[in-house]
Structure 1
């Protein structure tokens, strides 16, 4: 058996793994790369496998960094089955079409720029119709159900507690008269997340492929996050500003609605104040997804289910409004009274959130509240790291708004959550592959796992293949791009470095002495140069 790491290897997005056994070849996830223009370009590359050789696919959950290239896979000829939980299938019905629509809109905008620059126009990565057509391949399964997608492979989907329908995969492979068990954590959720159940405890594994998004840090006290959110809202509204929350349409949006609405004595004053403030969910996708939540109440935890049983649906309340049309979305920026706007995308890279940031970042009375992970290179990450001006739709916007970050709203377990989950294995894996994380998070988590559990760890690079028989990681030779491609990507790297240098100049000119911020930017610049060296040396 072999595993090739095709994405989310020393990076957070683009999850995709190729598993090869004596008799089968299958994929686990086929996600989109997200972040800078360089990451976006990865999405257009040819798949690093022959599509005709793939026997089936397993999907851990519906988030686009795990599912977003499935329509492209379909577009290029894949016609085999895709297995996922029934909740994931229902979410993908909306999310893949929405992703295709975003691809079309973004491509039209980029083509206008290409045309003005005299460059060749490009077709979108895929369309909404491709997203819809790909759904014919999906097969819904239940949690705890064991399926046999091929004669030598058995699979069990367990609740990962990350989002509705998210899964931890237990995979058993029979080869040469013996059985090997590999567990894929998928995106591992926090404990005590509203609505969702805690991640399933796994008894044993021979090998573990584990995410590491927050492997180097701890979230703030989860019990305080609701109060902190409400205090931020109350303070911002009282000074006449808007609260803008970039949020993934699936998962965080529903959790935020739950927290804003639920009637707890502890937050009585805050809830009473907030109940008079209009809350707008500016995402057609979030509207549809909230309906999917209604369909899968069996996925809810005991607390959320008890609300429903008592006739109180926690994802709906009197001052909540969903916007559907583009006109309704634009009208939100003309409102005179303070409002709360929850809008996708969560990393501020596409969708309606960019318009709301354009209209609110310059306002000192408004607050931008980040509640999810911000990948390197994204607009959200740059705002969170303190850039004083950002470019949105070709216009330089000054960042005057208050910037807040509540990490404990993230759907990802922190270091303690990951370690606690691994510690619950009665039979520990002999090797842990650490994926889905930035360098620092992976290295810190790797050392922690080795120190605490005495388990060997591997941090694979993209395209590395682990051979179970030889117990070796083989580095795949990657063909060099064309000269034109090298020049184009160098230009993109130059632009990325210019942004970093501009930020450094801004910090120094204002003589603020923020050594930590300068160090962060120098590290980012070093990362860009390292990528340039790796790609073209």
Structure 2
């Protein structure tokens, strides 16, 4: 391979799908993974690697969400011993997320093995354990935004704020030396500038290759003002129904934004008669990290907190209760009305939200509010699509609750915001689109060309490109 084509990028995940972010970069005889995320929804049982984990020299982690980080313990179990490069925010959040994911995984494995034992089938062995999680965490090397660091011979890395969640990063890699240097930019997940807490995604100017997400490549979000107005309409409707509101929310990012916006509404006098319950131990732990790292929030939102002399989101939202124990969570089943229950998981693939579905989804005065993307094959997507009956915990449950989707709360950039970010590059780089369903990526590719004459290729899993 000559110097002009000295680098290869192979798309191993999140190629025409939203989960399982993982891309292999081969350069200067070294192998780097950009993300190492789990699959969720359809095909999620397939978590095996198509490469030898021991042959990977380092992982560059864009952010902590499981679809970007969740297979790190499995990577370590397979023999990986390199560095995991990430931001400080990601390093602070990763122990919370990986330990919680392990707990849920082992619980589900115990349930499956009990079912297998009853059927006389061979039991499954765990694919990773707590030691693998601890080893993965020990490999993390955190850094701050905007700092150039050498991670290999003629391989230099800079993280930029992606504005998606705390610690989320745009990855900028400089490969080679002198005039032959090539710049690869991996967007990670780009944030929605209209939402709260996080700054706007950093605009970069120079690259030879751009790997860009396209989760919402086929549509724009409603304006945030319209989203808040719609949320207020849901509150009014649920109040008139003498009911409760269920909100499946990702423990990292979406939960903290919801608490902040509910705090704003509280101080505007719009939450009278409502109690807010954060029914997520992980969500509570993550919220504490967010509060400790308020210096990474958007300045305008820090100012709002200061205006009300609030050091924490609990102080900012006095009607908030964090239900840590199982007993406290179960007690919510007896609340007849006036409860806003925020619980994980965000796509309803696990967690306490499913137990609340069991107790409330069949009630006509329940309002179910989705505030984030629901991947194909997840329970959340099935409910958004209007299913009338689901099966949970071995029981059939009628869906009589009113279902609402508030896309303006999304932590992902909408189509126009993606286009604006892409247009910032002045070097006419080659674009490859990932982290989106096929229709969304095709729509984004067409829009990039029609608006900015940017030719973009929709990545295919297993395909490789040289540059």
* TM bucket normalised to smaller: over 0.9
Q: Distance in 2 between matches of 1:70 and 1:293?
A: 23
Partner of 1:416 in structure 2?
416
1:387 paired residue number: 387
Task: Determine if the alignment matches structure 1 residue 28 to structure 2 residue 34.
Answer: yes
In 2: Cα distance, 1:355 partner to 1:53 partner: 42
TM-score norm. by structure 1 comes to 0.83
The structure carrying a bigger helix percent of its residues is: 1
Q: Structure 1: any 5+ residue segments left out of the alignment?
A: 469-537
Within the candidate set 16, 19, 30, 1:10 is matched to 16
Question: How far off its partner does 1:314 sit?
Answer: 6.0
* Counterpart in the other structure of 1:209: 211
Q: Which residue of 1 aligns with 2:313?
A: 315
Following superposition, the deviation at residue 336 of structure 1 comes to: 2.8
Secondary structure at 2:182 match in 1: strand
Of 296, 308, 315, the residue aligned with 2:293 is: 296
Distance 1:281 1:309 in 2: 23
Given candidates 281, 284, 304, the residue that maps to 1:284 is 281
- Give the Å deviation of 1:275: 4.2
Q: Secondary structure at the match of 1:274?
A: coil
Name the CA shift for 1:425/1:177 in 2 (closer, same or farther; >3 Å): closer
TM-score by length of 2: 0.95
Asked if residue 461 in structure 1 is aligned to residue 460 in structure 2, the reply is yes
Deviates more, 1:112-121 or 1:330-339: 112-121
Counterpart secondary structure, 1:40:
coil
- What are the superposed Cα offsets for residues 377-402 of structure 1, whole Å, 9 maximum, x if unpaired? 00000000011001111111100000
Give the CA deviation at 1:112: 2.4
Equivalence for 2:242: 240
Aligned partners of 1:402 and 1:69: how far apart in 2?
Answer: 35
Q: 2 CA distance for matches of 1:284 and 1:314?
A: 16
Aligned residue number for residue 489 of structure 1: none
Whether the 8 Å CA contact 2:274–2:340 is kept in 1: the answer is yes
Q: How much has 1:32 moved relative to structure 2?
A: 0.5
Unpaired runs of at least 5, structure 2: 1-6
Are the counterparts in 2 of residues 182 and 206 from structure 1 also a CA contact under 8 Å? yes
Q: Which residue of 1 aligns with 2:187?
A: 185
Higher relative contact order at CA 8 Å, sep ≥6: structure 1 or structure 2?
2
Cα RMSD between the aligned structures?
1.6
3-state SS in 2 of match to 1:214: coil
1:133-532 to structure 2, matched below 5 A, reads 133-174=135-176, 178-262=180-264, 271-310=268-307, 311-313=309-311, 315-316=313-314, 317-429=317-429, 431-468=430-467
The Cα offsets for residues 461-489 of structure 1, whole Å up to 9 and x where unpaired, read as 21111122xxxxxxxxxxxxxxxxxxxxx
SS at match of 1:119: coil
Give the aligned length: 458
- 1:213-267 Cα offsets, whole Å, 9 max, x none, are 110111111222122212212320332211000000000000001111116xxx8
**Residues 277, 339 of structure 2: 8 Å contact kept:** yes
2:115 to 106, 113, 131: 113
Please list, as runs of the form range in 1=range in 2, the aligned pairs for 1:51-62 lying within 5 A after superposition.
Answer: 51-62=53-64
Equivalent-residue separation in structure 1 for 2:347 and 2:454 (angstroms): 34
Task: Answer yes or no: is the 8 Å Cα contact 1:103–1:125 preserved in 2.
Answer: no
Point out the more displaced range, 110-119 or 300-309.
110-119
Runs (4+) off by over 4 Å? none
The 1-side partners of 2:52 and 2:73 are apart by: 16
